[in-house]
Chain A
């Protein structure tokens, strides 16, 4: 059996040149994992997994577009989209809150639809377009929803904010903004423990009818 190693490089597509503590931990954990994995089963996977199973340690090829940048890499099937975004692409704007689909901090758009990235295995998003909070602004120009959150003080600690904003932009696009009650109902998948809800609703009301993401 061949022992060819083919692994994606953390952060390679993001243009980060400075080594951060996060990068260091990530790389050292990665190297530890490699060291502990039998060489014969760390191999590339170029097949279509149609009629057979990928072996248990085998990485599976994945192609997806994140914030307009195309990526081709191999991932372990158990990697969630959230972990891929944060740990491989260093897009740490998407937050890990509960990691169980209960808080909404990990909300991103996949093919324009908002989902909880913590419950989505990365491999199931092959060929899709992902938008994270980092992909909303146009250069230095913030998205109208980001502007509105600042204007209306739609956050306090900020941990839930990227998820709130990703949900809010999707909400406007879905058209569920006819009343305050409807906005609250369709924002209920995003928990804010600081209690910025009234200001979040105000921000959304300002943007509704404006530019969706």
Chain B
């Protein structure tokens, strides 16, 4: 790992100021992704601002829902009584990711910032537009089994690896950020981005902005929820495909529904067209199958990930069946 300058501010304003003029500095929270990337030489930083002493660990109810501090660890969020009672989908998704040790270190803000697990991104000898813009995409003609089926282009077919993000996009979360120009809120669906012409950018944060909190609005999705993660081993592996389903059911009718997929795109993939189709319809497998078919419109596979074109809709159907209780 290269050497770097280190700072440990106690206040948010100091942290922002420390990186304000630096284009190559990084904030350090749990370090589970950043320290790994630094060891691999994927990230070479000249300054680290250790934000672990900032007062950003709260998990609290608010008049409109809950607020989760950027430094609340994944374990603290998943185990929180407030989260389990109001947003069990978030607990399920977090516990499907990583290992207990990593969840004890990884933070909410850090999870939003984690980089792709595309092996070519990690291999500093391979061309990768995300790591070195303009160098090319090795995955396009390479071993692209783990890669995107939605929203990709020839510049980048990497996927966002997070489970937590899939639940947060389904739950319509809002990201609070703070920077030299002040504070602003970003809708979760607008936080991560598709590769477009800038695959090096994972999200819409401005340079030097710091995530301070994630808010989740109150919703009726506290009972019929499920997070299905399909991976190469039973636990502790990244998703080939994952599906988050949250249903608000009254008298066997779907009053409201949230659906999202992970492991399929450069960002957590919300299935709004399928949600619209299901709203107002009765709970049954046929409707779930039709919703999954709608969700797959526009999907495009590459040489080694064609299996995802079958796996993804089946994951959506199964997540809906589990969430609604018609399968167990």
Which secondary structure dominates chain B's binding surface?
mixed
Q: Is A156 an interface residue (CB 8 A)?
A: no
- B1-51 residues at the A interface, CB under 8 angstroms: 1-10, 14, 18, 28, 31-32, 35-36, 38-40, 46-48, 50
Which residues of the other chain, B, contact A170 by a CB distance below 8 angstroms? 100
Q: Pick the contact of B6 from A51, A77, A190 — CB < 8 Å? A: A77
Which residues of the other chain, A, contact B101 by a CB distance below 8 angstroms? 101, 104, 107, 114-116, 167, 189
Interface pair A53/B35, CB less than 8 Å apart: no
Which residues of the other chain, A, contact B10 by a CB distance below 8 angstroms? 50
CA distance A189 to B105 in the complex (A): 13
Interface pair B102/A101, CB less than 8 Å apart: yes
* Closest Cβ neighbor of B98 among chain A residues: A189
Q: Is A123 an interface residue (CB 8 A)?
A: yes
Beyond A100-B36, A189-B236, whether A114 also contacts B7 by CB under 8 A is no
- Interface membership of chain B positions 91-104, coded 1 if the CB is closer than 8 angstroms to chain A and 0 otherwise: 00000001111101
CA distance A170 to B7 in the complex (A): 31
Interface pair A167/B100, CB less than 8 Å apart: yes
Interface pair A50/B8, CB less than 8 Å apart: yes
Interface pair A52/B7, CB less than 8 Å apart: yes
**For the side of the interface on B, what is the size category?**
35 or more
CA distance A51 to B1 in the complex (A): 24
Which residues of the other chain, B, contact A186 by a CB distance below 8 angstroms? 100
Q: Is B253 an interface residue (CB 8 A)?
A: no
Which residues of the other chain, B, contact A63 by a CB distance below 8 angstroms? none
CA distance A48 to B10 in the complex (A): 10
B residues near A (Cβ < 8 Å) are 1-10, 14, 18, 28, 31-32, 35-36, 38-40, 46-48, 50, 52, 75, 98-102, 104-105, 234-236
A-B contact pairs, 27 of them (CB 8 A): A49-B7, A50-B9, A57-B3, A77-B4, A77-B6, A78-B1, A78-B3, A80-B35, A101-B101, A104-B101, A114-B100, A114-B104, A115-B101, A116-B101, A116-B102, A116-B105, A120-B35, A121-B31, A167-B100, A176-B100, A185-B235, A188-B234, A188-B236, A189-B99, A189-B100, A189-B101, A190-B99
